[in-house]
Amino acid sequence: MKNQPGPVKHDPQKLPSALQSIPDLLAGKKPAVFLDYDGCLTHIVKDPDKAILSDSMRQTLQGLAEVCSVAIVSGRDRADVARLVQLDNLYFAGSHGFDISGPGNMQTEPGGAKTALPALDASAEKLKEKLGHIEGAMVERKRYAIAVHYRNVSDSHIDEVKQVTATVLKEHPQLKEGLGKKIIELKPNLDWHKGKAVSWLLQELGLNKPGIVPLYIGDDITDEDAFAELQGKGIGILVGEHDEQTAAEYRLESVEEVEEFLKSLTEHLSKQEDV
């Protein structure tokens, strides 16, 4: 059996602007919109608790969700991102899609991550113990992940944070490493990620049909799984850039451009409905 080819990767700086391409993106279809939270709907900040959604962005999301399906797919806990967004007409996939909720009392944990909870509990305690002396290091326990933040750690201690995290990870084969911007994550060692969560939602919501085009908007390395999953059947839109090539096909420069894009998308869809 031949190996399946991997996703086509692009230079982020050479991607066309999604903002200038809405008619081409949709090609007469209705979108299903999936978005990351941090770095996409809000700016990246030193303290994750201060990544507050603006009233303007909240209104934009609410308006978009009135004309098409909208889901936020985040590494944050589902309850955390739902609390920050405060909208009940969106779907929320937290912990990289291990925990999903939405309208109509949807509440499910499709990735099978409960088996990893004991390993996550033990790893979180060990990491807090071993990294507690390093100024700026933060161990954030989520329901189905642990995020080790080193954005505020001095350069001289970053290697120590990475080595300690790698050691703890080796002690727990039930977990695997995930990388982000100045973050190392310990996640359940399962074949589940943001891309799988997007595919699950498309299937569950009946959006796998010719008249729908899935759009995924994200900024981080963890969003690459979703970009790859949608190649050939949807559109990936990278916000800014990260340190690697991307499977996204379009680009937005900033959180401000994301908001402008979502507003333009809503206007485009509203005009279609009026025709």
* 154-200 confidence digits (pLDDT tens): 999 999 999 999 999 999 999 999 888 899 999 999 989 999 999 99
pLDDT band with cut points at 50, 70 and 90 for residue 1: very low
Task: Compute the Cα dihedral for 81, 83, 86, 90 and give only its sign.
Answer: positive
Spacing of C-alpha 162 from chain mean position: 22
How high does pLDDT run on average in the chain?
93
User: Which of 134, 135, 139, 136 minimizes the C-alpha distance to 120?
Assistant: 139
Whether residue 2 has pLDDT greater than 60:
no
User: Which of 244, 184, 185, 191 minimizes the C-alpha distance to 219?
Assistant: 244
Burial of 176 (0-12, 13-18, 19+ CB in 10 A): middle
Span 116-139, average pLDDT: 96
What is the pLDDT at residue 275?
46
Whether residue 228 has pLDDT greater than 70:
yes
Q: How far apart are CA 87 and CA 99, in angstroms?
A: 17
User: Which of 211, 215, 224 minimizes the C-alpha distance to 178?
Assistant: 224
Decide if 79 contacts 65 (C-beta within 8 A). no
End-to-end CA distance of the chain: 49
| Domains with residue ranges and CATH for the chain | 12-111+192-274 (3.40.50.1000), 113-188 (3.30.70.1020)
DSSP secondary structure, 184-231, as one string:
EEEEESSS--HHHHHHHHHHHTT--STTEEEEEEE-SGGGHHHHHHHT
Q: How far apart are CA 106 and CA 92, in angstroms?
A: 10
What is the pLDDT at residue 99?
94
The more confident residue out of 244 and 18 is 18
**Residue the block writes with tokens 């303290």:** 47
36 is known as an active-site residue:
yes
Q: Which residue in the list 24, 36, 77, 274 is annotated as catalytic?
A: 36
Task: Compute the Cα dihedral for 65, 68, 74, 80 and give only its sign.
Answer: positive
Q: Looking at this protein, which amino acid is placed at residue 244?
A: E
User: Which of 79, 58, 70, 66 minimizes the C-alpha distance to 34?
Assistant: 70
Residues composing the chain: 275
Q: Looking at this protein, which amino acid is placed at residue 234?
A: G
Q: How far apart are CA 166 and CA 39, in angstroms?
A: 26
* 6-64 confidence digits (pLDDT tens): 899 999 999 999 999 999 999 889 999 999 999 999 998 888 888 999 999 999 999 99
Residue 34, classed as helix, strand or coil, is strand
Whether residue 144 has pLDDT greater than 70:
yes
What is the pLDDT at residue 243?
79
Percent of the chain past pLDDT 90, that is, above it, reads 84
